[in-house]
């Protein structure tokens, strides 16, 4: 796959192979030392080959605005916005929600491409921010409210956190919002779930380990 | 040049809002952006909209534009975009305490009536607000600068 899709912000480049331009963009991303998740973008942790496709949104100046990929979980399920990253210079006048707004704009640009894929359940996942309050956290409620308002086919899973990575670490279980097609259901996917209370305990436990070692 | 130019004009808000609310809103859609459930167009009956547009344009010696109504649902966001096939528009807000428009490179603008440069990226953050009702006169050829020049003359 190698496509450029023009949009209001510039263009979206969708590809599925290693290349020098992506490595240039990766270096720009890794230069952002304020990014707490910086390690997720190193060569060891971000591989194009782990994705069905990867996409970079460019501005009219040919510089990257944001990037993310689509990752297959099962033949029917994929995660969108995998390894999402918004470049610092693109954080505009949208105050606290600027990153979210940019994400949605980016999503809109790639959504038509996504739904040409064969999957029956598309999901976005995000980690719980802290363990002070178990349950759906405010930032997640705001995010899901906005997504629903754009398209009512999105649903959030509200009975706990869903396992999106192998393992039992708290970060392996995340909030998810998903959209299904062809009568496919969340139960058809049937991923492992961790209750909000248990997850908060797990986060506290992992924090205590970090504090004592 | 700022992308928003405020105007003072007394539109007949009661009639316009009445006309807007008397008909069904349909999801806006265009070739470039697709559709969003929260951004709706209302354009089945435009009797008062046409009348107010003509009165306004005659008063300021502007070319006639295309009037229509839009609704941005409560507690939602109109994503940043560039209007489809539109060069500029005259926007008049029909409800109180409306959210400002945000232009990506310029910031937020709160207005009641204004000319907008819709060729520049803009959107509305209506989170925590009620439905936002808009009476809009769109131009497809006349530029933002030309409309402002007419208004200043």
> pLDDT, tens digit, for every residue of A93-133?
555 556 666 677 766 667 667 777 889 999 999 988 877 77
Q: Chain A contact for B58, CB < 8 A?
A: no
State CA A64 to chain mean position distance: 17
Question: Cα separations (Å) of A96 from A142, A165, B85?
Answer: 12, 28, 31
Token code pair at residue A95: 């105050």
> What share of chain B has pLDDT > 70, as a percent?
100
DSSP string, A157-173: --SSEEE-SSSSSGGGE
With an 8 Å Cβ cutoff, are A93 and B75 in contact? no
Please, are residues B69 and B143 in contact by the beta-carbon 8 Å criterion? Answer: no
Residue A209: predicted pLDDT: 86
How far, in Å, CA of B88 to CA of A47, rounded? 44
With an 8 Å Cβ cutoff, are B81 and A94 in contact? no
Query: What pLDDT band is residue A183 in, cutting at 50, 70 and 90?
Result: very high
Indicate whether A142 pLDDT > 90: no
The chain-wide mean pLDDT, for chain A, equals: 88
Residue A94: predicted pLDDT: 54
List, in order, residues 6 or more apart from A138 with CB less than 8 Å away.
none
Residue A145: predicted pLDDT: 85
Q: What is the mean pLDDT of residues B89-102?
A: 96
Q: What is the mean pLDDT of residues A54-74?
A: 92
Residue B18: predicted pLDDT: 97
**Is this structure's pTM higher than 0.95?**
no
- Kindly list the residues from chain A whose CB atom is less than 8 angstroms away from the CB atom of residue B106: 93
Q: Chain A contact for B79, CB < 8 A?
A: yes
Query: What pLDDT band is residue B14 in, cutting at 50, 70 and 90?
Result: very high
Q: Cβ of A30: how many Cβ atoms within 10 Å?
A: 15
- Kindly list the residues from chain A whose CB atom is less than 8 angstroms away from the CB atom of residue B127: 97, 142, 145-146
Rounded (5°) CA angle A201-A202-A203: 90
Lowest mean pLDDT among A52-61, A181-190, B11-20, B54-63: A52-61
Residue A101: predicted pLDDT: 67
Tens digit of pLDDT for each residue in A14-35?
999 999 999 999 999 999 988 8
Residue A55: predicted pLDDT: 92
Distance from CA of A105 to the nearest CA of B (A): 6
With an 8 Å Cβ cutoff, are B77 and A150 in contact? yes
The chain-wide mean pLDDT, for chain B, equals: 94
Residue A210: predicted pLDDT: 79
Query: From its phi and psi, is residue A10 left (phi > 0), alpha (psi between -120 and 50) or beta?
Result: left
Of B32, B37, B105, the CB nearest to A151: B37
State CA A157 to chain mean position distance: 15
- Kindly list the residues from chain B whose CB atom is less than 8 angstroms away from the CB atom of residue A151: 36-37
Rounded (5°) CA angle B129-B105-A102: 60
Of B108, B121, B125, the CB nearest to A9: B121
Q: Chain A contact for B117, CB < 8 A?
A: no
Residue A190: predicted pLDDT: 96
Residue A113: predicted pLDDT: 72
How far, in Å, CA of A165 to CA of A79, rounded? 11
Query: What pLDDT band is residue B110 in, cutting at 50, 70 and 90?
Result: very high
Q: Cβ of B8: how many Cβ atoms within 10 Å?
A: 6
Residue A8: predicted pLDDT: 84
ipTM score assigned to the predicted complex: 0.73
Beta strand A121-126 pairing with A77-86: parallel
How far, in Å, CA of B23 to CA of A2, rounded? 45
Please, are residues B3 and B103 in contact by the beta-carbon 8 Å criterion? Answer: yes
Of A105, A112, A142, the CB nearest to B79: A105
């Amino acid at each position: 796959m190698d496509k450029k899709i023009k949009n209001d912000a510039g263009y979206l480049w969708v590809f599925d192979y290693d290349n020098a331009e992506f490595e240039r963009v990766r270096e720009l991303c890794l230069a952002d030392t304020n990014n707490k998740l910086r390690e997720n973008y190193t060569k060891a942790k971000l591989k194009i080959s782990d994705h069905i496709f990867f996409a970079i949104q460019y501005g009219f100046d040919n510089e990257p605005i944001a990037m993310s990929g689509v990752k297959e979980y099962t033949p029917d399920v994929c995660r969108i916005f995998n390894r999402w990253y918004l470049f610092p210079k693109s954080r505009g006048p949208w105050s606290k929600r600027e990153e979210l707004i940019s994400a949605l704009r980016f999503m809109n640009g790639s959504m038509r491409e996504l739904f040409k894929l064969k999957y029956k359940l598309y999901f976005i996942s995000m980690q719980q921010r802290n363990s002070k309050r178990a349950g759906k956290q405010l930032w997640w409620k705001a995010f899901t409210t906005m997504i629903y308002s754009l398209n009512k086919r999105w649903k959030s899973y509200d009975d706990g956190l869903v396992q999106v990575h192998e393992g039992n670490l708290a970060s392996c279980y995340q909030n998810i919002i998903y959209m299904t097609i062809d009568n496919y259901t969340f139960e058809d996917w049937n991923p492992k779930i961790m209750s909000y209370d248990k997850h908060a305990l797990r986060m506290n436990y992992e924090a205590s380990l970090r504090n004592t070692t | 040049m700022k992308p928003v130019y405020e105007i003072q004009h007394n539109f007949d808000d009661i009639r316009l809002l009445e006309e807007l609310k008397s008909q069904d809103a349909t999801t806006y859609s265009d070739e470039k952006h697709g559709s969003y459930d929260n951004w709706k167009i209302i354009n089945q009956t435009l009797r008062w909209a046409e009348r107010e547009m003509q009165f306004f344009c005659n008063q300021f010696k502007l070319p006639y534009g295309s009037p229509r109504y839009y609704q941005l649902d409560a507690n939602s966001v109109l994503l940043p975009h560039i209007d489809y096939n539109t060069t500029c528009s005259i926007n008049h807000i029909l409800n109180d305490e409306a959210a400002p428009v945000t232009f990506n490179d310029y910031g937020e603008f709160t207005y009641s009536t204004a000319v907008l440069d819709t060729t520049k990226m803009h959107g509305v953050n209506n989170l925590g607000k009620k439905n936002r009702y808009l009476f809009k006169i769109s131009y497809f050829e006349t530029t933002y600068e030309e409309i402002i020049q007419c208004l200043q003359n």
